[in-house]
């Protein structure tokens, strides 16, 4: 079976840490969507590592790591990730596999991303500007360049044709954009040569053989369900399916092969970039969450918007993904709040509703909270559920009852060891 690990909010839930904690149980860790817009932070042995495209299993000597067909790869960022691994003496060559069907982010995709955002002005998505949207547009437009194309003799010609088209499109946007394409291309082609040293495979055949051979596989999601291209807060979303179904198309596995679905959420909510966020806080509580939770984007360094947990949105994500186990991250950040709140209904056009409506912009919905008594205890050294403050236990029980799934893990700090497992 293949298990899935998915973010249930707007990304940055702490998936990197959980994959790292779970990885030792799996033979293969696979990424199935997104690209270097993701930033998975892992902290262990006093070192901080940020991965963007490479699966988090790379830090465990036993696991194979697959970058699936649904992923988009920026060779330049990929090269930097590999260099970082080399610096830490991580041997990746034998354990890193790349799907021939994964699409490649070209330098001009990044420029198109920037041009598109500039033209949108105030309505900008808040993209990470990594070229994700334009690359997926070329994929569905059937123009894209895939990793397997690098093995063809005419790939440079294909590159030139697409690049030429992109430059025309950039002009069409009529925005001022400064760039040095020669320098970008130099960096790109150097990185392509590094990429070529890795193993390109027909990953759908590999993964289905692994399933037949009873290997254990974990598919590691990037971003979160509310950024899903279909089910997220469109148009303020990313360009891939971040939800469970994305693992089937992004790896070539059948739905019947899916085992456990681990859903990761923060004890509160954060969002980077633009778009509606009903429980967003603009007061001291929000600032405290940002400060204690160190809420800055792993990829862009941008400050994250913070707010209370939205249980209506969480329930929606649990349903769409078929979550079987919940994992609550950053429980420690809520220590010291006198009152903790969670959104348990919306008021939509004057009526109380219990589901996520089509429009969740502030002019359409307001939130109704249930309040909980906080706790003062520092949680960061807690290792077992019995040591958890009663008020934290009540908060968790309420969440479980509301969304109908048990919480099996609570994270109380960034380190691998700061993890409480609940049987």
Question: CB-wise, 51 or 382, nearer to ligand IMP?
Answer: 51
Give me the residue whose beta carbon is nearest to ligand IMP. Answer: 273
Contact letters (x/-) for ligand IMP, 248-287, by CB under 6 A?
A: ------------------------xx--------------
**Catalytic (active site) residue 109:** no
- Burial class for 300, CB neighbours closer than 10 Å (0-12, 13-18, 19+): middle
Q: Does 307 bind ligand IMP (CB under 6 A)?
A: no
Q: Which stretch binds ligand IMP (CB under 6 A): 8-16, 80-88, 260-268, 319-327?
A: 8-16
* Binding pattern for the stretch 219-248 against ligand IMP, x by CB under 6 A and - elsewhere: ---xx---x--------x-xx---------
CA dist., res. 114 & res. 128, Å (int): 9
- Backbone angles phi and psi of 330, in degrees to 5: 60, 35
Q: Which of residues 107-146 bind ligand IMP (CB under 6 A)?
A: 125-128, 130, 132-133
Alpha carbon distance 131, 74 (integer Å): 9
Q: How far is the CB of 125 from ligand IMP (least distance, A)?
A: 5
Nearer to ligand IMP, 20 or 206 (CB): 20
**Which tokens go with 29?**
């860790």
Q: How far apart are CA 309 and CA 343, in angstroms?
A: 6
12 is a contact residue toward ligand IMP (CB under 6 A): yes
11 part of the interface to ligand IMP, by CB under 6 A: yes
Sign of the Cα torsion 408, 292, 391, 311 reads negative
Determine contact, residues 226/243, Cβ cutoff 8 Å. no
Q: Which residue's CB is nearer to ligand IMP, number 30 or number 379?
A: 30
Q: Which is nearer to ligand IMP, 38 or 201 (CB)?
A: 38
The residue from 40, 60, 109, 166 that is catalytic is 40
Residues 21-60 that bind ligand IMP (CB under 6 A): 37-39
Whether 12 is catalytic is: yes
| Residues forming the site for ligand IMP (CB under 6 A) | 10-12, 37-39, 125-128, 130, 132-133, 222-223, 227, 236, 238-239, 272-273
**Residues belonging to the active site:** 12, 40
């Amino acid at each position: 079976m293949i298990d899935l690990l998915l973010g249930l909010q707007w990304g940055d839930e702490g998936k990197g840490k959980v994959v790292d904690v779970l990885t030792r149980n799996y033979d293969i860790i696979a990424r199935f969507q997104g690209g270097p817009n993701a930033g998975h932070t892992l902290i262990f042995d006093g070192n901080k590592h940020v991965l963007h495209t490479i699966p988090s299993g790379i830090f465990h000597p036993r696991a194979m790591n697959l970058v699936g067909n649904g992923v988009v790869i920026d060779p330049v960022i990929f090269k930097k990730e590999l260099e970082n691994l080399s610096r830490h003496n991580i041997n990746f060559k034998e354990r890193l596999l790349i799907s021939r069907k994964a699409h490649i982010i070209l330098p001009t995709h990044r420029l198109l991303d920037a041009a598109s955002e500039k033209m949108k002005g105030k309505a900008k998505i808040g993209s990470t500007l990594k070229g994700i949207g334009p690359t997926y547009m070329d994929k569905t437009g059937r123009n894209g360049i895939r990793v397997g194309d690098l093995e063809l003799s005419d790939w440079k010609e294909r590159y030139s044709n697409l690049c030429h088209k992109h430059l025309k499109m950039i002009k069409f946007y009529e925005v001022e954009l400064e760039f040095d394409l020669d320098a970008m291309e130099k960096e790109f082609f150097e990185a392509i040569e590094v990429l070529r040293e890795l193993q390109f495979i027909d990953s759908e055949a590999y993964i289905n053989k692994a399933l037949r051979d009873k290997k254990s596989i974990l598919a590691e999601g990037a971003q979160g369900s509310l950024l899903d291209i279909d089910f997220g807060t469109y148009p303020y979303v990313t360009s891939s399916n971040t939800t469970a179904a994305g693992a089937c198309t992004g790896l070539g596995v059948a739905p019947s092969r899916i085992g456990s679905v681990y859903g990761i959420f923060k004890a509160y909510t954060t969002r980077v970039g633009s778009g509606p966020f009903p429980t967003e806080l603009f007061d001291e509580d929000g600032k405290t969450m940002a400060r204690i939770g160190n809420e800055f984007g792993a990829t862009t360094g941008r400050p994250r918007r913070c707010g209370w947990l939205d249980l209506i949105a969480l329930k929606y994500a649990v349903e769409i993904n078929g979550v079987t186990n919940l994992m609550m991250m950053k429980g420690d950040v809520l220590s010291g709040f006198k009152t903790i709140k969670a959104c348990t209904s919306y008021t939509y056009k004057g009526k109380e509703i219990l589901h996520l409506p089509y429009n969740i912009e502030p002019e359409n919905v307001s939130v109704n909270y249930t309040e909980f008594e906080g706790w003062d205890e520092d949680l960061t050294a807690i290792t077992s559920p019995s040591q958890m403050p009663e008020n934290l236990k009540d908060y968790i029980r309420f969440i479980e009852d509301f969304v109908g799934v048990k919480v099996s893990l609570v994270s109380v700090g960034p380190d691998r060891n700061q993890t409480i497992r609940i049987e």
